[in-house]
């Protein structure tokens, strides 16, 4: 799904979370597969107690099913969430598009951003990733685990600087000086009141 762009709007950056966000789901997948294989192998060996042999037709599919559910919940769902989350920076706004089944779209106009901050852990710093925190009057919005977070911060600042002044100040055009007619008709003050 592409985002709809307004007139004269262009995409500057399209990115997603750094791939290091998948480290946890990959480790969880490996642990679940290892534990499930060990459990299935242990239940398939000879010399099991007779009470365990009696429930083996129920126990073995249960172990395999539990392993599959854990792999889906701890690995596949986070992967799909990662692959379906995109961050867009345009010359007018920041868009966060998420969703696997139902999609959500969150927009933050650049004109509302009052402050930009970068938060990094030691691991994120070594990978060049981090959280970009955008502070507005209504709170903060965070882009999590962004690759090249400092470069993205510079691009956001550049995009804010390139906004037309009329957009920055509620439609008041500051680049042209307005001409005011300060000469009042004879017998009246500039505010239209008669002379006393």
List, for residues 19-67, the tens digit of each pLDDT value.
Answer: 999 999 999 999 999 999 999 999 988 888 888 888 889 999 999 999 9
Verify that 65 and 99 share a domain, yes or no.
no
Task: Assess if residue 115 is contained within a domain.
Answer: yes
Percent of the chain beyond pLDDT 70? 82
**Neighbour-count burial of 129, counting CB atoms closer than 10 A to its CB (0-12 exposed, 13-18 middle, 19+ buried):** buried
Task: Please check whether residues 156 and 100 belong to one and the same domain.
Answer: yes
Q: Provide the pLDDT confidence category of residue 101 given band limits of 50, 70 and 90.
A: low
- What mean pLDDT, rounded, does the chain reach? 85
| In a domain? residue 153 | yes
> Residues 120, 78: one domain?
no
Q: What is the CATH number of the domain that holds 154?
A: 2.30.29.30
**Same-domain check for residues 49 and 101:** no
Could you tell me if residue 192 is inside a domain? no
Cα separation, 45 vs 61, whole angstroms: 15
> Domain count of the chain?
2
Is the whole-model pTM more than 0.85?
A: no
Q: In this structure, is residue 182 part of a structural domain?
A: no
- State the residue range of the domain holding 36: 16-83
Same domain, 139 and 124: yes
Instruction: Name the helix (H) or strand (E) containing 37.
Output: helix 23-43
- For Cα atoms 56, 57, 59, give the angle at the middle one, nearest 5 degrees: 55
> Is 63 within a domain?
yes
Does residue 96 sit within a domain? yes
Domain's final residue, options 41, 59, 83: 83
Structural domain contains residue 154: yes
Domain match, 105 and 31 both:
no
Q: Which residues of 28-45 are buried (b: 16+ CB within 10 A; e: fewer)?
A: bbeebeeebeebeeebee
Is 180 part of any domain? no
Q: pLDDT (tens digit, 9 = 90+) per residue, 131-170?
A: 999 999 889 999 999 999 999 999 999 999 998 876 555 5
């Amino acid at each position: 799904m592409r985002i709809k762009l307004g007139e004269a709007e262009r995409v500057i950056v399209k990115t997603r979370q750094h791939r290091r966000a998948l480290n946890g789901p990959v480790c969880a997948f490996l642990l679940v597969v290892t534990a499930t294989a060990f459990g299935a192998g242990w239940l398939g060996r000879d010399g099991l107690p007779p009470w365990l042999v009696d429930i083996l037709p129920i126990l073995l599919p249960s172990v395999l099913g539990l392993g599959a559910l854990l792999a889906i919940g701890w690995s596949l769902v986070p992967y799909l969430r990662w692959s379906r989350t995109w961050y867009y920076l345009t010359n007018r706004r920041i868009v966060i598009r998420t969703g696997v089944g139902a999609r959500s779209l969150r927009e933050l106009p650049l004109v509302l951003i009052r402050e930009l901050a970068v938060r990094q852990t030691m691991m994120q710093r070594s990978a060049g990733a981090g959280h970009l925190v955008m502070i507005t009057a209504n709170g903060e919005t965070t882009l999590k685990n962004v690759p090249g977070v400092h470069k993205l911060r510079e691009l956001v600042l550049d995009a804010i600087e390139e906004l037309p002044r009329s957009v920055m100040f509620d439609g008041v055009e500051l680049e042209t000086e307005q001409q005011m007619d300060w000469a009042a008709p004879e017998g009246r003050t500039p505010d239209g009141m008669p002379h006393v």
